[in-house]
Structure 1
Amino acid sequence: MPSSTDALLGAEFVQTLSSMHLEDSWYAFVPSMLGENVAADAAARAVVRAQGLCAIVARCDSLYLAAISTLWASLDVSDSALVAVGLLYLYESILKDTPVAFFSHARGISAILVARSRSTPVTPLTRAVLYGNTHGSFQEPVAIGASSPFDDPYWLEFEPAATYAMTESAVKLRRLANQTMIRLPGLIAKVRSLREDGRPSGQLLCTTTRLANEIYFLTSEDAESELLHRVALKDTRDPLDKAIMRYSFKLKSLYEKETLLLYWGNRLMVIKLCLWLHRLHDEQNPNGSTLQPAMSKN
């Protein structure tokens, strides 16, 4: 049973999330878990303090150090540990003065997820963290030229998790967007290899094209159309903007907006890679080929 202290911390943390526009992120699961883990509680207090005081918070923040020492003393792969590391990551993202610590905590989130036994029950928090872990799923793998550590059927089958009801179309597109994001680093790495190799092997080109085709077809026109039909047309309020665009488009929720932007952004990356592969196929096989990127078939 949460104590009054835990309840107060939860309320402060909710207010902090709101001020950071993170109330719809996976951190929305944190308040209900406060009071269960000393490290997570200390990290949550550090985040609240850091956001409140921002730049004047000292690096020797006792709450931050207490969270780290407690976490190291009993580090495991539980949801509590995942929350604690995620909060330390958030703390560093607020201060922005120690990149090494920031990236260390970011890698810690991925490490905990990957280290878990696949027989462990998958909680809504786990699914929410996976969907919010863009650094581990996409950014770092792309930076080092490797496939995502989550590019595996086990992770690709995870459904999105949210703190409120989502439409079926939003769930479907979010899942497709996440699958695309997870698989893109592997495709990007292969395309890089083809670009760096003056005379790329036919086998690498073939496997890269197959992967590109698989990712290209991670789409749903029906779900996309359904979400777009939920867009409301509004008069543009800002006079300067109105001179350019008389009407604005408003989606039902921020989640649906983020879903469409993520889905379309990933689709554009895939299409660009497919177009490059198509040009490479034309250069190597001017008379045609049995295997072409999906873009060339449309």
Structure 2
Amino acid sequence: MKFATYKNESGQFIGIVHADGRRVLPLLEVYEKMGGKSALPSCMAEAISLGDVFYQEAKKTVQWVNENNLDSELYIPLDSVALLAPIPRPAKNIFCVGKNYAEHAIEMGSKDDIPEHVMVFTKAPTTVISHGQNIQSHSELTEQLDYEGELAVVIGKKGIGIKREEALDYVFGYTIVNDVTARDLQAKHKQFFIGKSLDTTCPMGPWIVHKSAIDNPNNLDIKTTVNGEVRQDSNTENFIFPVEEVIAVLSQGMTLEPGDIIATGTPAGVGKGFKPPRFLKDGDVIEITVEGIGALQNKVEG
């Protein structure tokens, strides 16, 4: 099941994306038509915080639509609404795992840069934009804007000291993130936060796929293209630290909460890794595809 956040003239809502990827079911509206006993939230973060109750009620709603042959009547075209990031304004910074593919660590330095422990930094919530929105070039600040296609994990329930073997129980679902980075700012400030947190540098979406639809997050094809040219092509089986380990490490002494987002790292093929480097420029279109989720596409614009 794919959960999207969208807005129209009436406000912001949660929708369930049809299997054809072109239509969306207005969840709250249809749930009420079905006679739902209590209103579901129209905010994704609030819905996720309800835990499995939200997923089960959403599942019942889709089943009701199917059983009553109301598919064509109740689904609306996706292009008739404005698709937002699944969680348009995260409550906390986005957790990001650095150098989680060995080949990426090597292209950014050498084999000595392959980490022995999970490497984490964060991006500010104000970086988040949706599928289809433009990435600002920030040309007055950077000449080295780069892309990083990544699988992202959305936490579904509160936990601390989570055991690795139980980690996936704390996941709500998965989405896609483009960890856009100003490499020169990253080098200048000797840390990651500023170079990773310019406005619009965290495209996310186009939706969240519930974990029940992903058998193994550590075995998904991931590909990034720039203007149709393949730049990154890998599989999450190449993670140094699998999703379970990342969640377990992050939760040691720090509480993870529903709606927290973890970007799991990028494969080799970033712009900085080419010789000479191939940084983003105005007009470039970046598309990131992750198996089982879909495609996230954004354009760079000054």
Name the TM-score, length of structure 1 as normaliser: 0.25
> Which structure has the bigger radius of gyration?
1
If asked which structure has higher relative contact order (CA below 8 Å, sep 6+), I would say 2
The structure with the largest strand share of the pair is 2
More helix by share: 1
Name the TM-score, length of structure 2 as normaliser.
Answer: 0.25
